[in-house]
Amino acid sequence: MKLVFLNYGFFMVLKVSEEEKAYITVEPGIRFRIENIVGSLILGIRLELPQLYKELLKMQTELQKLYGYDERAEEFPLIARHSPQEFPGLILKMRFPDVKASMLVFSSGNCVITGTRSEEQLKKAVNRFVDILRHCGYEILGEPELKIQNIVASADLGKKLNLDLIALSGGYNVIYEPEIFPGCIYRDETYKVVLLLFRSGKVVCTGAKSVDQIKSVLQKLYEWLAQIDAFLEE
């Protein structure tokens, strides 16, 4: 399916790929997927947020009228919010079939972008935002500086865990207080990543800077758990 937004050539929208929703498998059978990527963006220009907000509202209204969406339809395709009395930045939500991301945009030209599930989708969201700015009259030369600040992933080790043993063996790197939180908090000093370990074998990973880093830290974790015999028999 292809949707074409009249007068907005940069909104040529293709059907969503299922790639970012799929699990990735690494040895020895660890499955994980990306839940969210947070990136920082430096445009290299200053933005006049009040004027940009007006342009985005026009764009938003035209697109909603074109496709018959009422004021309650805030998930498609473009939503902008700017209340400088409450928050100095502009909030932009992109909800296109091929790009879903939220952005905090500041007058300095610095931005925070979140909500994508792959590095490819993050870059696509940035390109879409740059196209929007150009449509609003901004001239952006060269490539904006994009940096991944945090990747959140969920994983399944495929085996149940002995959290008490993990807590005893992990030393200062592990915090386990089951009366407060049901999982172990494991800090990997090498990769500067925090892992939440649950008895079911499910893991939440936060603080990674790349997919390769997630693969490495999960494999390192698995090897350590096997070494201390923390896997429970089924």
pLDDT in tens, 138-166: 998 888 999 999 999 999 999 999 999 99
Picking from 225, 214, 169, 211, the residue whose alpha carbon sits closest to that of residue 192 is 214
pLDDT in tens, 59-95: 888 777 765 655 555 456 788 999 999 999 999 999 8
Residue 181: inside a domain, yes or no?
A: yes
Beta strand segments in the chain, E: 24-26, 30-42, 78-81, 90-95, 100-105, 110-116, 145-156, 174-175, 184-188, 193-197, 202-208
Residue 17: inside a domain, yes or no?
A: no
Residue 97: inside a domain, yes or no?
A: yes
Residue 34: inside a domain, yes or no?
A: no
Are 133 and 176 in the same domain?
no
Which domain CATH number covers 220? 3.30.310.10
Last residue of a domain, one of 93, 113, 143: 143
Please, which pLDDT band fits residue 217 given cuts at 50, 70 and 90? very high
Last residue of a domain, one of 143, 164, 196: 143
Mean pLDDT of 9-28: 60
Mean pLDDT of 112-135: 94
Query: Residue 216 corresponds to which tokens in the numbers above?
Result: 């490495």
Whole-model pTM?
0.84
Are 139 and 156 in the same domain?
no
Between 27 and 202, residue with greater pLDDT: 202
Mean pLDDT of 1-10: 41
| pLDDT for res 1 | 32
Neighbours of 213 (CB within 10 A): 20
Which range of residues forms the domain containing residue 68?
A: 44-143
| pLDDT for res 72 | 53
Residue 90: inside a domain, yes or no?
A: yes
Task: Name the average pLDDT for the chain.
Answer: 87
Are 188 and 137 in the same domain?
no
Residue 232: inside a domain, yes or no?
A: no
Please, which pLDDT band fits residue 17 given cuts at 50, 70 and 90? very low
Q: How many domains does the chain have?
A: 2
Are 126 and 95 in the same domain?
yes
Last residue of a domain, one of 93, 126, 143: 143
Residue 13: inside a domain, yes or no?
A: no
